[in-house]
Amino acid sequence: MRNRSITLATLLVISCIIFSSCSSKLSRSKAKDLIIKEYGFPKPATANLHYGILINGDYQVEKFLADKGLLTRTEMGTTEVMGGMMNAAKIEVKLTPAGEKYKLGAGQDQYDSNSPVYYMKCADMTFVDITGIQEESETSATVSYTWRYENATPFGEAFSLENKQNQNGLPIYTDGGLNTAQVSFKKFDDGWRISN
């Protein structure tokens, strides 16, 4: 009798596992796991810092970072721009060893291929929570979730001063406020996948 009740209990547990794994609904925990894996949360948020000789600008970011000892900023006088119609300030920008630790790479400005940039870490983007799952059919769903910036670096502070945005105009790296996003999922024979 005892062996029979153990066998029935074992069958019941196995049946529950099988039926729950075959569920056609996308659970919040499954959506969370897939989003974190697909988008690499937590991940660094970066901004471009122009370096070398810069012309024309008020250089708020550079002043702020130079005051913190993260870069050197050397005034180089003025230069003619717009065919000599105007003079513009000219500075040279270099990272200090303290600033180098926030550099994640280097490249060219996407709008000006003659302008080199460093990709500077501004903060960490961290996943917060799934806020809703809207099933469009048995095989597709839209998942809403929240994330935030955390651990702002001095570069995040500087770029937040210059760019002041958000309510999802992004980026203010220092406010810790929630940002919302949505992602589409499709169900395949082996389970749910992100389809964007």
pLDDT on residue 123: 93
Higher pLDDT, 12 or 113: 113
Higher pLDDT, 75 or 163: 75
Which tens digit of pLDDT belongs to each residue from 13-65?
A: 454 444 444 558 999 999 999 999 999 999 999 988 989 988 876 678 888 99
Considering just the CA atoms, what is the radius of gyration of the chain in Å?
26
pLDDT on residue 131: 98
Strand-pairing partners, residue 133, are: 143
Reported as type and span, the H/E element at residue 193 is strand 191-194
Entry pTM:
0.75
* C-beta separation of 63 from 49 below 8 A: no
Reported as type and span, the H/E element at residue 159 is helix 154-163
Higher pLDDT, 196 or 193: 193
Which tens digit of pLDDT belongs to each residue from 163-183?
A: 655 444 556 787 778 889 999
Residue 179 exposed, middle or buried by CB count within 10 Å (0-12, 13-18, 19+) = middle
For every residue of 172-192, DSSP letters joined together read: -TTS---EEEEEEEEEETTEE
Q: Report the alpha-carbon distance of residue 109 to residue 79 in Å, rounded.
A: 22
Q: Is the pLDDT of residue 1 over 80?
A: no
Tokens standing for 4? 């029979």
Q: What is the mean pLDDT of the chain?
A: 84
Which tens digit of pLDDT belongs to each residue from 91-144?
A: 899 999 999 999 999 998 888 777 899 999 999 999 999 999 999 999 999 999
The position carrying tokens 């069958």 is: 11
29: helix, strand or coil:
helix
Which tens digit of pLDDT belongs to each residue from 43-55?
A: 999 988 989 988 8
171: helix, strand or coil:
coil
Give 70's contacts (C-beta < 8 A, 6+ positions apart). 95, 96, 98, 99, 102, 154, 155
Higher pLDDT, 110 or 1: 110
pLDDT on residue 11: 47
pLDDT on residue 16: 44
